[in-house]
Amino acid sequence: MRSPGLQLRTLREDLGLTLRDVESASQRLSAKYGNDEFALQPSRLSDIEIKGVVPNIFRLYTLSVIYRRDFRVLLSWYGVDLSRVPADLSVILPPHTHRVEGLLSAPEVRMPVRLDPSFDIRKTTNLGRMIERWGVVPLECLKPLENSKFSYGYVGGEDLTMYPLLMPGSLVQIDESRNRIETAVWRSEYERPIYFVETREGFICSWCALNDDHIVLQPHPISPQQVRLLRHPQEAEVLGQVVGIAMRLATHFVDKAVPENRARPQLS
């Protein structure tokens, strides 16, 4: 496999550019942005091409512009593949609930492109056996399905507000058009809407109720969290309703976060 430096040299030579040509173009880019880091001296470019010197982010951007190549492609030559961002998010589980925006950096997604004809959405099944073929699909192809009213959040590793309905570490889909608190009688806890709320301390997923000019943030009955009463909307704003959940049924988050002196329910 050719080194990144050799690939960059091949690009330059295919375009008929000399080291001096690249230097002149880089200086114009440097002057445009008022940053000398964009500039490339011939000796530096030679070190990058021959000696394997890794360019900084500014010079790599310069090369992507001059060589007419996607910046993400050049990054991938140096082992930084932005399409891996969604899979690599699991390397850390932040304790606080927050919005998820790192997924936007993925230029393409691997997804099922053909399902078994016998697949019936009404029946519980092993989805892995129903997928006949996986494929890499550019995210641009999915834009017709885009619905801007949805955003996404992550339930912090120490956020037990809606435990066990929402396990810490869950990803939630938020319908921002449903940002008004519903008042009704629900037959079960599964029907009661869960809202994604922004407070001065951060984000939280919880049941909500209005009490005059205050909002009541109601945790699940067996959660160790307490009911919170905040001024609305000064101290707490409802961003939307949780309409989708991607959740792992793991307990290692809970063991760290539930106080030892709290009695846990006994299951029979």
Domains belonging to the chain, first-starting first, are 4-77 (1.10.260.40), 85-92+104-145 (no CATH), 150-257 (2.10.109.10)
Closest CA to 172 of 189, 192, 197, 191: 197
Q: Cα-Cα-Cα-Cα dihedral of 19, 23, 25, 31, to 10°?
A: 170
Lowest-pLDDT choice from 28-37, 164-173, 252-261: 252-261
Alpha carbon distance 181, 194 (integer Å) = 9
Q: Give the list of residues 6+ apart from residue 205 with CB closer than 8 angstroms, or none.
A: 97, 153, 155, 159, 161, 162, 166, 172, 194, 195, 196, 197, 242
List, in order, residues 6 or more apart from 122 with CB less than 8 Å away. none
Q: What is the pTM of this model?
A: 0.59
Q: What is the percentage of the chain residues whose pLDDT exceeds 90? A: 53
* Mean pLDDT calculated for residue range 23-47: 96
Spatial separation of the C-alpha atoms in residues 182 and 194, rounded to whole Å: 10
- In angstroms, rounded to a whole number, what is the distance separating the alpha carbons of residues 166 and 46? 54
pLDDT at 142: 54
Read off the pLDDT band of 188 (50, 70, 90).
very high
Residues 27, 30: Cα–Cα separation, whole Å = 5
Mean pLDDT estimate for the chain: 83
Q: Which of 259, 89, 65, 51 is nearest to 158 (CA)?
A: 259
At 131 the pLDDT is 65
More confident residue, 192 or 88: 192
What whole-number distance in Å separates Cα of residue 6 and Cα of residue 52?
9
pLDDT per residue over 143-163, tens digit each? 555 556 788 888 888 889 999
Q: Is the pLDDT of residue 53 over 70?
A: yes
Helices assigned H by DSSP within 121-175 = 127-130
Average pLDDT over residues 112-137: 63
H-helix or E-strand containing 65? helix 57-66
pLDDT of 4 reads 95
Please identify which residue in the block is written with the tokens 């330059």. Answer: 12
What is the reported pLDDT for 144? 55
For residue 263, pLDDT over 90 is answered with no
Backbone phi, psi, residue 34, to 5°: 65, 35
From CA 134, how far away is CA 137, in angstroms rounded?
9
Tokens read off for 251: 């307990």
- Quote the tokens at residue 62: 């310069």
- Say how many C-beta atoms besides its own lie within 10 A of residue 103's C-beta: 13
Q: Which of 137, 212, 202 is nearest to 181 (CA)?
A: 212
Ranking 101-110, 145-154, 179-188 by mean pLDDT, the lowest is: 101-110
**SS3 state of residue 43:** helix
Place 29 in a pLDDT band, splitting at 50, 70 and 90. very high
